[in-house]
Amino acid sequence: MNRNMKKTACILLFLAGMALPAMAQNSIDRMVKQHSTTGKSTFTSAVERDPATRKVVKVVNILKSKDMDAQPFKKAFEKEAKTADSKLTVSKDLTTLVLTTESQGNPRIYMLKYDPDNAIGVEVTIIVNYKKQSKTSKQ
């Protein structure tokens, strides 16, 4: 391998590594989107805007279902926990898995809640905080 090929290979590996967290989030986002339009579920989306600029500051999406199988979501979150900061909290009747990651400079929080003794019932929350753009100085 010549020097240019090695450099190109290193750049490609770096870029592939950068894409993994984004792909991870996308799988959870896709599942939420798919399940929000099918079955017996409740989907809520809220957008917070900066009152001065009307730019989006935060988006919160919540998917809830008492009738949905929790297993596919558990598997997706466990898989994605490998590419994000994660925290697992287990109590008697509630398990909560929180993933924190960043995509395009915007922090994202994914939260899964389910009953560990019951395979049915799930709540997924996705929070995206959009970073404020630096204000340009007036001339």
Over residues 48-66, the pLDDT tens digits come to 999 999 999 999 999 999 9
Q: For residue 44, how many C-alpha atoms fall within 13 Å in the half-sphere facing its CB?
A: 9
Range of the domain at 64: 21-129
Tell how many helices (H) and how many strands (E) occur in the chain. Answer: 2, 6
| Residue 107 contacts residue 65 (beta carbons within 8 Å) | no
| CA 16 from centroid of its chain's CA atoms | 19
Q: Is residue 14 part of a domain?
A: no
Asked whether residue 81 carries a pLDDT value surpassing 80, the answer given is yes
Looking at the 3D structure of the chain, how many domains does it have?
Answer: 1
Q: Is residue 65 part of a domain?
A: yes
pTM of the predicted protein model: 0.74
Q: Is residue 68 part of a domain?
A: yes
User: Averaged over 70-93, what is the pLDDT?
Assistant: 90
Q: Cα separation of 40 and 64, whole Å? A: 9
**Rg (the chain; Cα; Å):** 19
Confidence of residue 22 (pLDDT cuts 50, 70, 90): very low
Q: Is residue 3 part of a domain?
A: no
Asked whether residue 134 carries a pLDDT value surpassing 80, the answer given is no
Q: Is residue 10 part of a domain?
A: no
Residue linked to tokens 């959870």: 28
| Count of residues in the chain | 139
| φ, ψ of residue 71 in degrees (nearest 5) | -60, -45
Q: Is residue 134 part of a domain?
A: no
Q: Is residue 107 part of a domain?
A: yes
Q: Is residue 44 part of a domain?
A: yes
Q: The domain spanning residue 65 has which CATH number? A: 3.30.160
